[in-house]
Amino acid sequence: MNEIERQKHILLIEDSPTQARYAGLLLEDAGYRVSVAPTGRLGVEKAESESPDLIMLDVVLPDLDGFSVCRCLRHRLLHYVPIIMLTEQRTAIEDKVGGLGVGADDYLSKPYNEREMLARIASLLRIKQVIDELHGRLADEHQSYQALKRIALVDQLTGLYNRHYFSEVLTREFSLALRHGNPLACVMTDIDYFRDFNTCHGHLAGDWVLRNTAGLIREMLRHGDVIARYGGEEFVMVLPMTESHSAVELGERVRAAVAAAIWHHPEFGALEITLSIGVAALPLPDVTDPQRLLACADQALYRAKNNGRNRVESFIVQERPSSLPAAPARGATRQ
């Protein structure tokens, strides 16, 4: 037996002190660690608290029969543990089949043949090791998938969703809004004078502002709202079931919160940060695709910039969305 097998823990659920001592000595001599439970209930408790690698379970117990204990173990244990049921040689084949039916992996008849017992235990432990390794690989693959998914969908600087994922969400929510006749708002926001800020203080300070601005805005949104970093210093939000006036109110709360926040950089001290915000919301005439709605919000944002910054503007229908410029590309900056 190799060194890994010698470290395995076996729980023996056996009410006979003589049988328990006999089996325990055989197992300990073979290098296993053994614990004993004289009743079915205590056996279940030990199985849950001690996490044994294998359980040897007597069919006849003073409180519960072995079939009930086996069924309970399979229901309550969160991971696979092999179970060998111990029975008298005269036990009918129906009892053995019944035990296998409630979750036992094997049977041993009393009195045991020492070599047979150890061989059956070693075989089941090898099977358990394969199953445990498979579960471990599956868990690692799931974690790797989640990590890759996060990389693919999340902006690494701010922790917000990225532009690609936002486009998927906007397309989905736009389709739902048109199908059911529900309102849908799109909000674009831009940090004022951010290019000058980066030139004066450097990109590390700019990154600090982006992270903190993103966190502040995110805290003000509802559970179903989605915010993403759209590019450079721009953030964009999609607000399901939100009419234009409600989106403007949210934009004003966000703008006011950023303007009133105490921005104290550890190196540059007190800073003044403000936002310009543009809002567009369905229903809108001639807006029949999600990119047109985004362009309407972008047009309103331009007006907020042109009207003095640190303000919220809503898209005006007379501006005709068909003539709107395309939304700026990732990384583009707007003074």
Residue 333 pLDDT exceeds 50: no
Percentage of the chain beyond pLDDT 90 is 49
pLDDT digits (tens, 9 = 90+) for 257-281: 999 988 888 777 788 899 999 999 9
Residue 242: burial class (beta carbons within 10 Å; 0-12, 13-18, 19+): buried
Residues 138-161 have pLDDT tens digits of: 777 767 766 666 677 888 899 999
User: What is the pLDDT at residue 158?
Assistant: 92
The answer to whether the Cα torsion of 193, 196, 200, 201 is positive or negative is: positive
**Cross-strand bridge partners of residue 226:** 238
Same fold, 3-144 and 163-323: no
Judged against a pLDDT cut of 80, whether residue 321 lies above it is answered with no
Sketch the domain layout of the chain as residue ranges.
Answer: 3-144, 163-323
More confident residue, 7 or 222: 222
Cα angle for residues 193, 187, 324 (degrees, 5° grid):
85
pLDDT of residue 231: 84
Residue 111 confidence (pLDDT) above 90:
no
- pLDDT score recorded for residue 218: 92
* pLDDT at position 248 over 50: yes
Q: Output the DSSP codes for 104-165.
A: --EEEEESPPHHHHHHHHHHHHHHHHHHHHHHHHHHHHHHHHHHHHHHHHB-TTT-SB-HHH
Q: Give me the pLDDT at residue 100, please.
A: 79
Largest CA distance in the chain: 95
The total number of residues shown for the chain amounts to 335
CATH of 3-144, one of 3.40.50.12280, 3.10.105.10, 3.40.50.2300, 3.30.930.10: 3.40.50.2300
Give yes or no for a cis peptide into 111 (omega within 30° of 0).
Answer: yes
3.40.1010.10, 3.40.640.10, 3.40.50.880, 3.30.70.270: CATH of 163-323: 3.30.70.270
Cβ proximity of 229 and 194 under 8 Å: no
233 in catalytic set: yes
Tell me which of 173, 233, 234, 313 is the catalytic residue: 233
Output the pLDDT for position 148.
66
pTM above 0.75, yes or no: no
